[in-house]
Amino acid sequence: MTIHLKIWRQKDRNTPGKLVDYTLDDVNPDMSFLEMLDWLNERLMNEGKEPVEFDHDCREGICGSCNLVLNGMAHGPMPGTAVCQLHMRKYKDGDTIVVEPWRARAFPHIKDLVVDRSSFDRIMAAGGYISINTGAPADANAIPVNKYDADLAFDYAACIGCGACVAACPNSSASLFTGAKIAQLAHLPQGHPERKKRVVKMVDKMAEEGFGDCSNYAECEAVCPAEISITSIAEMRREYVKALSEIE
Amino acid sequence: MSKAATFLNSQVGRKLATGVTGLGLVLFMIVHLLGNLAYFAGPEALNTYSHTLHQLGPLLWVVRMGLLLFFVYHAWLGISIWLERRKARPDKYEVYASRGGASRQSWSSSSMILTGILLLLFVVTHLNTFAFHDFDKVVYGGVEMHDVHSRLSEVFAQPLYTVYYVVIMVLLGMHMRHGVWSAFQSLGWMSRKTNPVIYGIAFVLALIIAAGFIGLPLSIFFELV
């Protein structure tokens, strides 16, 4: 199949970027989107041209490394799917696909389709952890957790930290990511000792990093490859109100 | 900063305040709409209702000031969140599209800033047309009252004003369609079980309030009452 690509090329943060046209006329429908980009890059390198930089790692939808906006949608058109798991059979022969990086002030641009997502790491470092004594593994069911909380915590824990929520949000808010991390730990007994400090620090860090306010558009939930619900954002807000005593 | 200021300036606090003030304004609109319905009961009922409200004295002023505070704070929060959003994405997408599905991006949610500003301007003209108007006087049982009924009949006999009012009320319905649901989400009251229910209630409430406010001027204009 033939695919027309318009890919965002940008040398570095300080050089203005632009969309560059590429046409691939021998795309195999069984290729993943990233394999098609590999295919393009091999051609470019054979022609002595600079390959397109893009982030990827596991290519099985669990690492959260890939980050492409396809025709204006973070991770492309498939619900619950990271772009590495999107296959070209989803497209029709002759389709044009515009490929852009995540765009947000809190995700500074690096090169082509690669952005710096370390602001997420800093939100995590602010409180997205539990302090426990490591050592021999504990018995699996030594700490009882009821099924309702276990299920919810598991759903929120599915967040792979890819940043699609920010990329798709008209306000560039990181509320879904931060909410998922806070809600996950709030449902587990292990998360309780630092529960109040955690929500205050993570919410404050999120604003400090330059992410926008949430306007409840729910676009984040629509693009999330792990299909995290915006109820995590409601939970984050509840947790924040309960943590009033920790606010300085 | 004090604890309250830190809370209100946080991203959670700002949304919470937007939700609380928004729901307060919705509550006011419900009362206002019920008051308007007195028009259908005739001049004496409406004018007496208006007169009774004015007799509340200091309490009325407390409500008025509270309403003004809620309104201004709600508008300020909305505008500042919108300004913040422009800073949070300095480089725009060449192509942007909603994925649909769980997304609540719609005409209603995407135009909150526009419908909000138009409602803000409307309230100024609305107060000028009614609240600050020098009403004719009417006497019932020896008590002199403002003739609100005749003012309403006079205003909504004008085609242009009636169209303007109806259009603004449609925008109000749109603003509430996203706003009411959004307020519950901002207050953290949403959960898997309540989500679809509250989303539905918001739609019905927006529809009832907009239809209610549109019903009166149209009834007057087409001389149905």
Q: What is the mean pLDDT of residues B33-47?
A: 94
Whether the per-residue pLDDT at B110 is higher than 80: the answer is yes
Residue A159 in any domain: the answer is yes
Whether the per-residue pLDDT at A208 is higher than 90: the answer is yes
What lies within 8 Å, CB to CB, of B5 at 6+ separation is none
- Pick the residue from chain A with its C-alpha nearest to B96: A72
Residue A107 in any domain: the answer is no
Residue A23 in any domain: the answer is yes
Rg over alpha carbons for chain A, rounded to the nearest Å, is 20
Cross-strand pairs, A111:
A114
| H helix or E strand, kind and range, residue A18 | strand A18-24
Residue type for B86, please? R
- Write the pLDDT tens digit of every residue in A136-179: 887 888 889 999 999 999 999 999 999 999 999 999 999 999 99
Q: How far is A222 from chain B (nearest CA, A)?
A: 5
Q: Give the Cβ contact number of residue A92 at 10 Å.
A: 11
Is the Cβ of A71 closer than 8 Å to some Cβ of chain B? yes
Residue A39 in any domain: the answer is yes
Whether the per-residue pLDDT at A93 is higher than 70: the answer is yes
Percent of chain A at pLDDT exceeding 90: 92
pLDDT at B1: 65
Q: Which residues of B are less than 8 Å from A69 in CB distance?
A: 93, 95
Q: Which residues of B are less than 8 Å from A236 in CB distance?
A: 12, 188
Residue type for A26, please? D
pLDDT at B190: 81
- A133, A242: one domain: yes
Residue A111 in any domain: the answer is no
Q: The domain containing residue A167 runs over which residues?
A: 118-246
- Write the pLDDT tens digit of every residue in A4-40: 999 999 999 999 999 999 999 999 999 999 999 999 9
- A229, A126: one domain: yes
Return the CATH number at A18: 3.10.20.30
Q: How far is A169 from chain B (nearest CA, A)?
A: 9
Q: The domain containing residue B47 runs over which residues?
A: 11-221
Residue B190 in any domain: the answer is yes
Which of A77, A98, A171 minimises the CB distance to B85? A171
DSSP type of residue A97: E
Residue B162 in any domain: the answer is yes
Q: How far is B25 from chain A (nearest CA, A)?
A: 18
- A155, A62: one domain: no
Tokens in use for A183?
């809600």
- What's the ipTM? 0.92
What B137-141 contacts at long range (C-beta under 8 Å, 24+ apart), as own/partner pairs, is B138/B43, B138/B47, B140/B44, B140/B47, B140/B48
Mode of pairing for the β-strands spanning A73-74 and B143-146 = unpaired
Return the CATH number at A150: 1.10.1060.10
Interface of A with B in 209-228 (CB under 8 A): 210-219, 221-223, 227
**Cβ distance of A247 and B7 shorter than 8 Å:** yes
Residue A108 in any domain: the answer is no
Number of domains in chain A: 2
Return the CATH number at B129: 1.20.1300.10
Q: How far is A100 from chain B (nearest CA, A)?
A: 7
A-B CB pairs within 8 A amount to 151
Percent of chain B at pLDDT exceeding 90: 90
Q: Which residues of B are less than 8 Å from A98 in CB distance?
A: 94-95
Residue A106 in any domain: the answer is no
CA distance A91 to A100: 17
pLDDT at A95: 98
Which of B16, B100, B109 minimises the CB distance to A237? B16
Q: What is the mean pLDDT of chain B?
A: 94
- A70, A133: one domain: no
Residue B152 in any domain: the answer is yes
Q: What is the mean pLDDT of chain A?
A: 96
